Chains A and B, each alone.
Chain A
Amino acid sequence: MKPRRGWDILRLRLRSLGRRNRVEQDLDTELRFHLDRQMEENLAAGMRPGEARLAALRKLGGVTQIQEECRDMRRTDNIETLWRDLRYALRMLRKAPGFTVVVVLTLALAIGANSAIFSVIDGVLLRPLPYPEANRIVRVFFHSATYPTFPLNPFDFRDFRARNRSFESLAGYAHADLQLSGTGQPERFTGFAVTAGFFHTLGLHPARGREFTANDEIPGNDQQVILSDRLWRHRFAAEPNIVGRKITLDARPFTVAGVMPPGTEHPGNQYNGIAHGETVDLWWPFAFRGDPTQRGSHFLEAIGRLKRGVTAAQAQAEVNALIAQLAREHPGALDGWQALAIPLYQEIVGPSERLLLVLLGAVGLVLLIACANAASLLLARATARQREIAVRTALGASRPRLVRQMLTESLLVAFLGGALGTAIAVVGVRGLVALLPAGFPRADTIHVNAAVFAFTLLVALATGVLFGLAPALQAARTDVQDTLRGSGRGAGVNRGHLRLRSALVVGEVGLACLLLIGAGLMLRSFVNLLRADPGFRPEHLLTARVSLPYATYKAMDAPRFWTRLCASLNSGAGIRAAGVGTDLPWTGYDDNIGGLNIEGTKPPSGQDFHARYHVASPGYFYAAGIPLIRGRFFTPADDMKAPLALIVNQSMARRYWPNEDALGRRVAIDDHPKEQEWMTIVGIVGDVKDKPDSPTPEMALWWPIEQSPVGVNNNMAVVMRGSSDPALLGNALRQAVRQLDPTLAVANVRPMDDIADANVSTPRFALFLVALFAGLALTLAAIGIYGVISYAVSQRTHEFGLRMALGAQAGDVRRLVLRQGVKLALPGVALGIVGALALGRVLSSLLYEVSAADPLTFTAVPVAAIAVAALACYLPARRATVVDPANALRSE
């Protein structure tokens, strides 16, 4: 019965609404009928016709009022009133175009900025990862006092996989690019060697063919490959029978086992060059080679899918128990290691979460300031509209009715702002994505979508209520009599307005100061970052990678190739220096060697001697611009037959030979080396940090190519220093490589400037946005101050006239106005400083060598803010001084 009745009522209301004219006509006829009958009765009682009519009308009461009440009863009122209010609001907004444009633009900028940042947050943080039940996927690392996250040893991994009970499946993968030749230009593709069930762990399935099984992990069975959709389409013309075909990779025949569908996203890796999103093109089986009892080398990254109901912490505890078990089976091999299981989501978006939330906070502050400004402008307008409101009150408009009307107006403004803001967001998001730092996680999932539209709508609604409510309530309190009597400056009301507006401006200045201080800190941090000596010279430097297939380059072929390539490059025109090395500065994590034996010392207990290790050709340091501090660089004489030579960086020299000269000291890898296995330090070079914002440089050492104890290096980075545009060197490199071996690909050709630039792109991105928002905030606050001071000046015209009539100079009056403005700014600035100090902790992780309470920033920003406040008062102050005393006094 109940819902049925609800439905009936709704239907009747809808009918009343839909047939409004009809219903109104009916009411008319009905009332006329009533009047006629009453008149007939009156006539019958002996009244004269005119009298009878008047009496009947009197008895019925006001017809208009009855009609209005009937309309109320039908409750169609809401929608009609809304419509009427909207039309009225539009008319009012059209009548004050200046006000409308300023408020709508202000809101549009603020809402647009919010929507743009929200779309980034939606795409990066809120959207689930592109894997089914992604919350069950975790990354598994080793962890020690020295290494927060470290890859696994393959045999350790295999034991974990076999023995664990926490994971539905556990897979390992290692970055290992492959060179495709045979069809067209040789090209190097991003590849990963993956263990059985890698895709199964992610919840993905090949579109064609199959994924690798345990059988493919056996050495000899691993010449198989799964292609990405993109590679399949571009290099194999989407050949439908590709599965089972043989292709040539690294000069060896590989059988195509499958093709992954589009949208196969890489879950991220930390070592040997980081791949992003859909950039991976090849997957091939990870084969477990070598001696399972040797567990010192760590290069396999692990990812697992937890069983239902198992938490990451439980899985971590289990792997730790397995480590203890393995440590008993292989004494010494796992000393100092612990396991770490980190949810994949956290691993992917964790580093950018803080930055995005800071940006959201900043842009939210801008919105608050815009609201305060809009409220202040509305208040100013309410003052101008006092007469109109008083008239409406006198004509019977109730207070709730007036508040509703005013709110309709502010909501309309907010929605106009929101609509324009959406347009700004659409453009802004495109700009933002283009600005995003290289390798920002999930950048390709950032779009303006339904969620963003919903967010914008909600923000616009909240904005409209937020900035409209106070002015509406104030306006509805207008004193009718006072206003209508013509003493239109009902001083009490206006002072209330001014107080509220002043409070708003103080808040605005405070928020703007907060943002400015944030921007100032980030600017200082960024300048520090740019000013810091990178330890190498990125300008005029070209980098590239060349790798030699193990199938065709055996034993000493590779060193010979590198020597010939360097010789060829060094004799090339326009090339000032060239060299090859295993690693480039600032391109990611370099390999580590632990357990070094330093002649004459023992490591403190529980620690070992370790360093990043690299291999470099004689010209590498010179070409890269890494300075020689003492000793010498490698020479061609440091070959297989020569005594073993070693170059270390300053950090290593200082750390392991404190207060001593490291030059000439000896290091070995074995604990009990033969005499010829000792490596002698021949040179000390300058430090280069892992990343420009790394807190300290890591210890590092280099071996000559022909003396590398970690085997031949078939994969090298080339560095070439030219005298001008490094891009021109690319062709020289390709030509040199082609002359030596036409089947080789030259990959990752990039000027070092680009790499350096990409490394500061995150702080630059943050600085740019925060500075943009702070600038916007300051402008809005200045507009706010200007508005309040102009209004105050217009209110004090009489007073100023009087003062000037009594002999005050223009300068005195100007000072008076300026003082009023600064008085507004001061508490705001104080609030901003307090807020910034309180929020400093949030920012400190984004800062480089700047304290979150940096005195310079905390002095400069308040001074600048007060200066801007004074500037905003300048025009009103000038206006105050051009008051003609006679006029001012007469106007009262």
Chain B
Amino acid sequence: MSKPSDLIKGTLDLLILRTIALEPKHGWAIAKRIEQVSQDVLQVTQGALYPALHRLEQQGWIRAAWRKTETGREAKFYELTKAGRGQLEKELAQWERLSRAVGLVIVQ
């Protein structure tokens, strides 16, 4: 498996944080959600999701808990911590700066 470049790795973190910012979600739901919202443009390699989740959890940005899903099965739900919210804002700002810069270059 090829390693995601730093940009993509950072982006994945951002996507995850953004996805669970509204409500806690389990892994599969996060993957699905990213696919749906991006209209299948961003096909998250599902396998890459879980190491990312674990990394974010170790950083203390998200926190996990076992809860019942709508079908009644136990699943691990991830939600943002306070530090995670701060991180999300920082990454969003950074993303915007980056995309604006890229946009400027391209428009020229």
Interface residues of A, Cβ cutoff 8 Å to B: 5, 8-9, 12-13, 16, 26-27, 29-31, 33-34, 36-38, 59-62, 65-66, 69-70, 72-75
Contact = CB atoms under 8 A, between A and B. Distances in A.
Nearest to B45: A61
Most buried by A among B28, B52, B73: B28
Contacts of B59: 9
5 contacts: A33-B27, A34-B50, A36-B73, A61-B46, A74-B58
CB-based closest 3 A-B pairs: A61-B47, A69-B51, A73-B55
A862 to B, nearest CB: 58
Contacts of A66: 47, 50-51
A258 to B, nearest CB: 67
Contacts, number: 69
A5 B59 CA distance: 8
A75 B58 contact: yes
B58 A9 contact: yes
Question: Is the interface on chain B under 10, 10 to 19, 20 to 34, or 35 or more residues?
Answer: 20 to 34
Contacts of B26: 30, 33
Contacts of A72: 51
Contacts of A26: 66, 76
A60 B58 contact: no
B54 interface: yes
| Majority SS at the chain B contact face | helix
A33 B28 contact: yes
Given A33-B75, A62-B47, A70-B50, 15 more contacts: A5-B83, A8-B83, A9-B58, A12-B60, A26-B76, A29-B76, A30-B26, A33-B27, A34-B28, A37-B28, A38-B46, A61-B1, A69-B50, A73-B58, A74-B54
Contacts of B47: 60-62, 65-66
Nearest to A63: B47
Nearest to B64: A26
Contacts of B74: 29, 33
A74 B60 CA distance: 11
A26 B59 CA distance: 18
A38 B83 CA distance: 31
Nearest to A72: B51
Contact of B46 (A5, A9, A34, A73): A34
Contacts of A69: 50-51
Contacts of B91: none
Interface in B34-79: 45-48, 50-52, 54-55, 57-60, 66, 73-76
Contacts of A38: 28, 46
| Majority SS at the chain A contact face | helix
Contacts of B31: 34
A684 to B, nearest CB: 93
A37 to B, nearest CB: 4
Contacts of B57: 12
Given A65-B47, A69-B51, A72-B51, A33 B73 contact: yes
Nearest to A68: B51
Interface in B3-53: 26-28, 31, 45-48, 50-52
B107 to A, nearest CB: 37
B60 A9 contact: yes
A13 B50 contact: no
A72 B54 CA distance: 9
B46 A60 contact: yes
Most buried by B among A5, A34, A38, A69: A34
Contacts of A27: 50, 54
Contacts of A33: 26-28, 73-76
Most buried by B among A8, A27, A70: A70
B54 A73 contact: yes
Most buried by B among A5, A26, A29, A33: A33
Contacts of B54: 27, 70, 73-74
B63 to A, nearest CB: 10
Nearest to A59: B46
Contacts of B66: 26
Contact of B58 (A16, A37, A61, A65): A16
B88 to A, nearest CB: 15
B62 to A, nearest CB: 11
A38 B27 CA distance: 11
Most buried by A among B1, B26, B55, B58: B58
A69 to B, nearest CB: 4
A34 B48 CA distance: 13
A217 to B, nearest CB: 76
